Amino acid sequence: MSVEKMTKVEESFQRAMGLKKTVNRWRNSHTHCLWQMTLGQRRNPYATLRMQDTMVQELALAKKQLLMVRQAALHQLFEKEHQQYQQELNQMGKAFYVERF
């Protein structure tokens, strides 16, 4: 083999080794990133379970509170409509039947 061919072979070998090192560094950094991302999950799974339980409880309380708010709003609406009907009947000289004790 000539000296020029040997130099080209060495250069391509060096280039291939450089690319291999780059790929290995990328793999290592990718593995490290995945490890860092899952570290919090692996660190304390019980904390995650407690947080999920707390979120479920808060959601149940929020639903209950929303139901109470809706019921109160509906009650106010019915009261307002009742008063309006009562006024209309009073203008016509009529009234709701109310049983006395």
Looking at residue 65, what is its pLDDT? 95
Q: How confident is the model at residue 73 (pLDDT cuts 50, 70, 90)?
A: very high
For 23-63, the pLDDT digits (tens) are: 888 888 888 888 887 776 677 777 778 889 999 999 999 99
Are 64 and 56 spatial neighbours (Cβ–Cβ below 8 Å)? no
The whole-model pTM stands at 0.47
Q: Determine the Cα–Cα distance for residues 35 and 33; give it in Å rounded to an integer.
A: 5
Counting every residue written for the chain, the total comes to 101
